[in-house]
């Protein structure tokens, strides 16, 4: 395995008395496409939100691209709590696509995509527009640049959200159940875009989904998470056809029959 681009080292996350992650060890290699599956409430979104710096950690260390995410080096082998400047720098390595799209409702599609590249990366407006139009072409929405989110279907909005995340040129793209909020007939068009990204880009992808067939198709590796730790992981053809752990077998039976 090449050097991991993401590494959770004995990470704990507590909300008050509730322990969500308990000594989680988890790695993703550069360019790898990894899917996280597991029951509701098992900590899947929390893992992504920690990486996106939307939630901090209670214990352990998260490494992204060789650097601690929630800490900064303080001397040779000591770590101290990360400063806002460090978090800001680290955030630039990651993008996230949420279940509920989260587009800015008062901005056009084009502006949704150019806003952060202009404000955060300092691109000129023409540069940001060029980049945005290229991405809209990639997600099949070139003709929709001047529309507002409410004028589009959920599937189209989610494709814009993917373009918006890519406009920041992240090394790692996180997807939290990107098709769960969509009407069934719109799931395919969003999966098609993600599939294209998975096959044609060297982007590292970490995806949470309940779409097992899709997970099997696009993942190099599938991790079954239960109660905040990796219960079983493997190549999709192994994990889906011959899960070893009773808990994994039970989960897969329930979702595949359901």
Under the binding rule (CB under 6 A), the answer on residue 42 touching ligand ADP is yes
- With CB under 5 to 8 Å by kind, the binding choice for 40 among ligand ADP, Mg ion, none is ligand ADP
254 is a contact residue toward ligand ADP (CB under 6 A)? no
- Which is closer to ligand ADP, CB of 15 or CB of 104? 15
**Closest separation in Å from C-beta 45 to Mg ion:** 3
- Please, which residues have CB within 8 angstroms of residue 55's CB and are 6 or more apart in sequence? 13, 46, 49
Per CB under 6 A, does 44 bind ligand ADP? yes
Q: Measure the CA dihedral 14/18/24/26, to 10°.
A: -90
Residue 83 to residue 62: CA distance in whole angstroms: 15
Sign for the CA dihedral angle at 96, 222, 241, 218 comes to: positive
Q: Which residue is nearest to Mg ion (CB)?
A: 45
112 binds Mg ion, rule: CB under 5 A:
no
Q: Which does 42 bind (CB under 5 to 8 A by kind): Mg ion, ligand ADP, none?
A: ligand ADP
- Integer Cα distance of 84 and 9 in angstroms: 22
Q: Are 5 and 64 in contact (CB under 8 A)?
A: yes
In the complex, least distance from residue 67 CB atom to ligand ADP, rounded to whole angstroms:
24
Stretch that binds ligand ADP, among 2-10, 34-42, 108-116, 137-145 (CB under 6 A): 34-42
Q: Which of 11, 28, 32, 46 is the binder for ligand ADP (CB under 6 A)?
A: 46
Backbone angles phi, psi at 17, to 5 degrees: -85, -10
CB 99 within 8 A of CB 107: no
- Is the Cβ of residue 175 or residue 240 nearer to Mg ion in the bound state? 175
Helix, coil or strand: residue 34: strand
Which residues face 232 on adjacent strands?
Answer: 224
Binds 20: which of ligand ADP, Mg ion, none (CB < 5-8 Å by kind): ligand ADP
Q: How far is the CB of 38 from ligand ADP (least distance, A)?
A: 6
Q: Which residues pair with 35 in a beta bridge?
A: 207, 222
- CB 93, min distance to Mg ion, A: 22
- Give helix 125-138 / helix 154-166 axis angle, nearest 10°: 130
CA distance 103 to 82: 28
Q: Minimal distance in Å, beta carbon 175 to ligand ADP?
A: 12
Residue 45 interacts with Mg ion (CB under 5 A): yes or no: yes
Residue 46 engages Mg ion in binding (rule: CB under 5 A) = no
Strand partners, 14: 19
Q: Residue 209 interacts with ligand ADP (CB under 6 A)?
A: no
Mask 7-26, x = binds ligand ADP (CB under 6 A)? --------x--x-x------
Distance in angstroms (rounded) separating the CA atoms of residues 133 and 151: 18
Residues near Mg ion (CB under 5 A) are 44-45
Residues near ligand ADP (CB under 6 A) are 15, 18, 20, 38, 40-46
């Amino acid at each position: 395995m090449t050097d991991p681009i993401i590494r959770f080292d004995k990470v704990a996350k507590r909300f008050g008395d509730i322990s969500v992650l308990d000594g989680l060890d988890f790695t993703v290699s550069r360019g790898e496409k990894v899917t996280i599956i597991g029951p509701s409430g098992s900590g899947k979104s929390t893992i992504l939100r920690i990486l996106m710096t939307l939630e901090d950690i209670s214990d352990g260390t998260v490494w992204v691209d060789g650097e601690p995410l929630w800490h900064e080096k303080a001397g040779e082998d000591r770590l101290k709590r990360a400063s806002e400047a460090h978090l800001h720098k680290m955030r630039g390595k990651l993008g996230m696509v949420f279940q509920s799209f989260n587009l800015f409702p008062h901005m056009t599609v084009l502006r949704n995509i150019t806003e952060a590249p202009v404000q955060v990366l300092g691109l000129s407006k023409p540069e940001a527009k060029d980049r945005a139009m290229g991405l809209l072409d990639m997600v099949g929405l070139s003709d929709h640049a001047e529309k507002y989110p409410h004028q589009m279907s959920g599937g189209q909005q989610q494709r814009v959200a993917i373009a918006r995340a890519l406009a920041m040129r992240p090394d790692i793209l996180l997807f939290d159940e990107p098709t769960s909020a969509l009407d069934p007939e719109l799931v395919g068009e969003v999966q098609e875009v993600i599939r294209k990204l998975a096959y044609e880009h060297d982007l590292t992808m970490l995806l949470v989904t309940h779409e097992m067939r899709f997970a099997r198709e696009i993942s190099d590796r599938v991790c079954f998470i239960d109660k905040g730790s990796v219960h079983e992981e493997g190549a999709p053809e192994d994990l889906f056809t011959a899960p070893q752990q009773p808990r994994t077998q039970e989960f897969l039976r329930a979702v595949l029959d359901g």
